[in-house]
């Protein structure tokens, strides 16, 4: 499988079922919902697995830090909205998510995962892909990892802040540090 480069290009458009309204499950999510804000769009393989809930709950636990940076979060897998709801309603102590602060998208057609270049076709699941999309809808960051490796919330926040800093950020740059001169 070839992972396609999306950085610097318009984010592939999407519309899919979601848990945005957990009770009725009748509210879809679309890329256009996030226009004017930053978006962390992340893909994960499957509901009710082992690494995935650690990532989703870690992002949810730090949601306010993203919100303070005018950034929304959307998680996506190829599971159904019903599976997502059941997982959210399962307590964390039982390998569930419990209440989370952002919706999960249901890419049951696999179109969104395919468009973002993270779909494992023969398995019908997504790799761990994370994309930061700017307020104009341009992909500014993408990282795709093996199914067994969870992502770092600290690094995602650092990259978001670096992208928002508006300059050249050296390796290991942290907010408040000097930018490089061109």
Break the chain into its structural domains and give their ranges. Answer: 15-21+29-151
Architecture in CATH of 15-21+29-151: 3-Layer(aba) Sandwich (3.40)
Inter-residue contact 102 to 74 (CB < 8 Å): yes
Whether 179 shows a pLDDT value over 90: the answer reads no
Beta-carbon-side half-sphere exposure of residue 141 (alpha carbons within 13 Å): 19
Give the whole-angstrom CA distance, residue 27 versus residue 47.
20
- CB burial of residue 178 (10 Å; 0-12, 13-18, 19+): exposed
Q: What is the pLDDT of residues 44-54, one digit of tens each?
A: 999 998 898 99
Structure pTM? 0.95
**Euclidean distance between CA atoms 40 and 102, whole angstroms:** 11
Q: How far apart are CA 134 and CA 122, in angstroms?
A: 31
Supply the mean pLDDT for the chain.
94
Q: DSSP class of residue 92?
A: G
As annotated, the active-site residues are: 52
């Amino acid at each position: 499988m070839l992972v396609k480069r999306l950085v610097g290009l318009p984010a592939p458009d999407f519309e899919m079922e979601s848990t945005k309204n957990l009770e009725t499950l009748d509210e879809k999510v679309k890329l256009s919902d996030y226009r004017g804000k930053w978006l962390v769009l992340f893909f994960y393989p499957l509901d009710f697995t082992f690494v995935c809930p650690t990532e989703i709950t870690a992002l949810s636990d730090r949601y306010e830090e993203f919100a303070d940076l005018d950034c929304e979060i959307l998680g996506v897998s190829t599971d159904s909205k019903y599976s997502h709801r059941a997982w959210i309603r399962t307590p964390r102590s039982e390998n569930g998510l419990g209440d989370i602060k952002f919706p999960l998208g249901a890419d049951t057609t696999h179109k969104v995962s395919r468009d973002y270049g993270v779909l494992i076709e023969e398995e019908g699941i997504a790799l761990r892909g994370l994309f930061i999309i700017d307020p104009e809808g341009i992909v500014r960051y993408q990282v795709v990892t093996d199914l067994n490796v969870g992502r770092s919330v600290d690094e995602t926040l650092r990259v978001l802040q670096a992208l928002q800093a508006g300059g050249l950020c050296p390796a290991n740059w942290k907010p408040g540090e000097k930018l490089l001169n061109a």
